[in-house]
Every structure is written in structure tokens, then in C-alpha cells.
A and B are shown apart, each in its own frame.
Chain A
Amino acid sequence: MANTRPDEKLKPWQDPQAVPYVRIERVTKRFGDFVAVNQVSLDIYQGEAFCLLGASGCGKTTLLRMLAGFEDPSEGRLFIDGQDMTGIPPYERPVNMMFQSYALFPHMSVEDNVAFGLKQDGVPKAERQERVSEMLKLVALDGYGKRRPQQLSGGQRQRVALARSLVKRPKLLLLDEPLGALDKKLRENTQFELINLQEKLGVTFVIVTHDQEEAMTLASRIGVMNHGRILQTGTPSDIYEYPTSKYVADFIGSVNMFEGRLVEDEPDYVRIESPELGGTVYVDHGVSSAPDAKVWVAVRPEKVRLDRERPDQPDNAFGGTVKEIAYLGDVSRYLVALDSGKLVRVTQPNTDRRDDRVTWEERVWVSWSPGANVVVTQ
């Protein structure tokens, strides 16, 4: 995953001295009565691959289009490389964008498409040709220069679009669902190619996607958006392991959510009573919440254990019956109905070829360690 990359000791977003390359300052965008982007503030640093993640209509594309200059913020300001972007048209901004539909010019060859941006800048012909062929080589499309976009496959078009948006050597590249139109297999390969390219060229990426897996793979940091607001910003593992809200926990990956009430609120641990679970949950960290307030315990399916015997732990173990099993090869997914009636999702890796795995309607215990769950209050 992205956070295991050999980066410098202090990440730029953790360094108070670091100057952001892109600064979004309390930006709001309204279309009539509809608020597409609502008071968003965000700093993005040089060399980052920042992912705006959210369901369709959450405002992520509008935010990206404001960075490109296709939309003007209704309120707030945008800075790129310290320069206020207010009133600067797209053709004068130091950014390039890769469009979701690729937006390749159908009446031009691949070469002319890639050369288009250089031509606008008045780059001399010899240098233009050199840079275009260099770019096409980089995206493994040398030899395709004379073709028309219509004569290429989807994956090839995607690479032409990438070459065209990178040929001007922008410091900031905006990518709108860059892999959305590719099939699954191609997408996986392309994800890694994209990240290699980004590191090689040192370009700052701002990526918009609705695909959480894509975001996890590509991003140095993710900003999860909903209803025009950024709910949480953090590294992929932060977002996955420590979601701060129900929405984020639910949107990223699969999660079991149990409603409950704080019954013991200590600085280093809490105990939550959950009628849904039919018992209490012990959490090994403090929670900042009003006493007696409604809270939710979130547990990822892969962090839940499944046993035939009651595990040897005082808390976080509940009895139930196996209702559904989906064998997926590498893992199996179980749906366990607790005695309270609540369904719990459990994912177990198939580490050996056992034949004695639990089966339908078997009596089991689901349990998890006190550090495996997260408490969210909103």
C-alpha cells in the first residue's frame, strides 16, 4: 500500500514548516440552490498523490474543475504554487488535467494530440517532435503516433490522454477518474504504472475517484467527501483503520457497525453497552463523547475471529449461527446471525486446505480484540 513507500521521515503534511503546493481556502461552489462544494479547506503538498474520494455527486469533480479553472468558486480562494488563481482562465494555469472521457481530439493523430499543448506554447517543431516521441515511449505507445484515437483500444487511449496531459511537464496534474473506463485487469496494472510515473516525474497528482480500492492504491493521502464537504483526510491506512465517522467507516471497505451507549468512560478505555450485540464492548482507548451519548462501534470483517468454542477472553465475544458462506478462494466470507438477531460479517483467510471449516447453521462465537474496533460518534 502507498504508505509503505520509502518516503522521507516526516511527511509534508506532518511538517508545520512545509509550504503547501495547492491551498484550497474555504471554497464553496453553488449551482443555483445546490451547494456542490461546501466550505472546503485543504492543503496539498508537492509530490503528493492526493485522492478525492466519494460517491457520485459528492462534489469531488467540481472541486477538481475549480482547480483546473473550468468553474469559479462562489466563495473562497484557491492558490497554486502560492499564486491566487481567482480570475485566471484555464489556459493560463500551470496545471493539466486528464479527463474521465480522455477528451482526445478525434480529428488529430495521436502525435498531434500529444503535441497540441506544446504547439500552444510555441515550442519549436524539432523539440516538439522529440518531446512527443519521448512521451509516447514513456507510456509505451511508440509506433502508434500516426493513428487516430478511434483506432486505439480503451487502455491505449487512456495512455494517450496521460501522455498529452504530461507532455507540458506540469507541476500539478489533475486526474478525473483516470482508470474509470478500463476493465478490472487493465485497471490494476495501470494503477501501478501511474504511480511509478508520478514518482519518476515528481508531479503532484490530484485524483478524483469513486473507487475506494483505486484510492487506496494510488494515494499518499485520501480526502473522503460527502455532500460537498471533506469528512476526513489522511493516509489510506489512517482512513481505513481509524475512520472518524460512520460514513467514512462504511464507505471505505466493509464494516460491521453496532449502535450502543457509553457505560464506562475512562481516559484509557471505554465500555459500551450495545443491545444490538446483546452485550458490552470493551475498547482500549478513550473516546471524547458526552456520557450516555449514542455511539457506534465499527469492526472490520477481517478483524473478527470465528471459533466453535467460546474464546478465552472476557469481552467482545458473542455467540451466533452461521447463515451464509461465500467461498472466494483466497478468503471466505461468513454472515453470522448473533443471538440478538444482528448479522455480523466475518472474513477469514483460507490459509490451509482444511475440510473442517465451519458450515451452515453451525453454532459459533465471533470475537475481536479490544484494539480491533473503532468508536465513532457521528
Chain B
Amino acid sequence: MSRVAQPNLGQVLSGLLQALLGWAPVRAAQGRLKDWGVTGRMAVTAVPYLWLLVFFLVPFFIVLKISFSSVEIAMPPFAPLIQWANDKVMLIRLNLGNYQFLWEDALYSSALLNSLKMAGVSTIMALLVGYPMAYGIARSSREWRNILLMLVMLPFWTSFLLRVYAWIGLLGINSPINQMLLALGLINEPVSLLQTDWAVYIGIVYSYLPFMVLPLYTAIEKLDGTLLEAAADLGCRPTRTFFSITLPLTKEGIVAGCMLVFIPATGEFVIPALLGGPDSLMIGRVLWEEFFNNRDWPVASAVAILLLLLLVGPIMLYQRAQQAAGGAHR
């Protein structure tokens, strides 16, 4: 059988790159950049920084700016921060009222506290469900492992909104679950979890479980099995081994999983809106209402900034823990 060697895409691209780098103007520009202290390595690392600058830092400053302005019936519906009087004098009108308003109106602080509570409870629930799952996957045979991981990620292939919507049917009065429980005689009349905090917990745990399972799986899979054998050899029973060896050595995975669930769950909007009741007010929903219903962009922006500041705290703690762990393991 004769086969003509066909260059693959990677080879073609690297060939093109080589040709491009050899081109005289490119080389000249490269030399110039080098004179300024810019090297190829810097150019490569600059890409993610550039991305963050354009798509995170710039929008952040825009939101920050809006949060300091005041409402106006205009397009866009807020007063500009900087105005020119007589085209000569620059006027900066910094409005701190939005933040004061958030502070004074109990609605926002209670919504924020409620969000933290809801996110915290669902994170713990996700951890309790996710850890055994991740452990089971990490300890299963190689063929099974991939299938199980695939099953964990499978829900991502359908729309998030659709999946949350499906829970309305599962939690309502006429749900198949209720009918089954009735038929079994476990309950006398149908119960609805819809519009309760429990529905929101279920929704969050269900939606964010993969974010908990995957880092946990990575941590547990990395755990050296001989350490568990060593513990057993030294007279440690399996349950104690779990708490004194397995749990502390998978701490990084636990922290990562909890962060990945807690942070988005705090600002979650769709799940409380679809499954939660009127009393399970979460900050995401408040933000939505300010933005779309009240068209109060400045207050909505202030809420967003506040939420961000609140979440930066745990993120920084997490980073520090990671660094400390990295230092200890070296």
C-alpha cells in the first residue's frame, strides 16, 4: 500500500509561521521590539493578559463608572460622569448615593445575606454529594472512569436553562415523583417543593455538581494509594484513614470545588427566578430587577460591584491557601 505523506494542519501552520518569521520586515520589527525589551516569550504571555484587559478590566471600569452616576431618563439611562461646562471646565459628578442607598435599604443587605446563605448551603450539599461521586469515579477501573466522567459532564450538552426548567415539572404538584410517592403510600397528599428554598438548593446542586466533582476527582485520583495502605499497615481503620489521610490530602480539590460552586451560586439568577419563591430573594434577582424592571442602571451597577468585592475576599483566601499548599509540597 502506498501512502503519500500528507502534512497535517500543525505542520502547515508551523511552516507558515517559520516563513512569516523569516520574512524581512517581520525580522526587522522583531529586532526593533527586542531593542525595547520585548521578547517572544513576553508576546506569548501577553495574550491572556490582553484578553483579561479587554474583556474583564475594561467592562469592570465601565460598570464602576456607571455605579457612581445617577439615573436619568435618557439613552443610556444614566447621567454621564464627566461633563464639559462651556467646553472649558471639566465637571466630574461623582454620585455616592447609590452605595448609600444600598446601605440604607434593608432589601439589599438581606438579599445579599440570603444569597451567601443559599450559596453556602448548596455548596456544602454539593460537596456532600460530590465527594462520594468523585471518590467512586477515581477508584473505579480505567474503562469505567471515562464513562462515569462523561456521564458527569453529559448534562452540559443540553441548555442550562432547559435543565432548570425541567425541574419545575419534577418538583411541582403533578410531578411523577409526587405521583410515585402517593402510589407508594408514603405521602397522603401531593407536596410541592416549588417556590421554596429547597427547590433552589436542589437546582443549584444539580446544576453545579460537575464543577464540584471534577476538581475533587482530580485531587482524589492524584492521591497516592500506598499512603492509604501505609495507614492501614500502621493500624488505622478505613474510616479513620479517610479523615486523617484522604480528606487532608484532597483539601485542594475540596477548596477548588467549593469555590467553583459558591462563587457562581452567590450571583445566581436563573435558578432562584425559576424555582425559588418570593421570599428566597437572591442578589442576582435583585440585580436583574434593578436593571430591567426599574431601569436603574447605577444602582444595578453598584450591586454588581458590591457582589464582586464580597467575592474577591474568598477568592484571595483561596489563592493564598493554594500558594501555601504549593510551598509546603515542594
Which of A's residues lie within 8 Å of B, judged by CB? 68-70, 89-92, 95-97, 99, 101, 103-107, 116-117, 120-121, 148, 150, 164-165, 168
Contact = CB atoms under 8 A, between A and B. Distances in A.
A227 to B, nearest CB: 25
B231 interface: yes
A256 B165 CA distance: 80
A324 B237 CA distance: 60
B248 interface: yes
Tell me which of A91, A97, A104 has the highest count of chain B C-beta atoms within 10 A of its own C-beta: A91
Contacts of B230: 97, 99, 103-105
Contacts of A117: 234-235
B240 A120 contact: yes
B88 interface: no
Given A99-B230, A116-B234, 5 more contacts: A91-B234, A97-B229, A97-B233, A105-B227, A116-B244
Contacts of B236: 91, 116, 120
A99 B229 contact: yes
B329 interface: yes
A148 B248 CA distance: 15
Contacts of B245: 105
B234 A120 contact: yes
Interface residues of B, number: 20
Q: Tell me whether chain B's interface is mostly helix, strand or loop, or mixed.
A: helix
Contacts of A101: 224, 226
A148 B328 contact: yes
B142 interface: no
A95 B232 CA distance: 11
A369 B237 CA distance: 60
Contact of B330 (A92, A120, A150, A165): A150
Interface in B96-145: none
B305 interface: no
A335 to B, nearest CB: 43
Tell me which of B232, B234, B248 has the highest count of chain A C-beta atoms within 10 A of its own C-beta: B234
A107 to B, nearest CB: 5
A120 B235 contact: yes
Given A99-B226, A101-B226, A90 B248 contact: no
Contacts of A99: 226, 229-230
Contact of A89 (B232, B234, B249, B329): B232
B39 to A, nearest CB: 34
Contact of A103 (B226, B235, B237, B248): B226
Contact of A121 (B224, B235, B249, B328): B235
Interface in B286-330: 328-330
Tell me which of A116, A150, A164 has the highest count of chain B C-beta atoms within 10 A of its own C-beta: A116
Contact of B329 (A90, A106, A116): A106
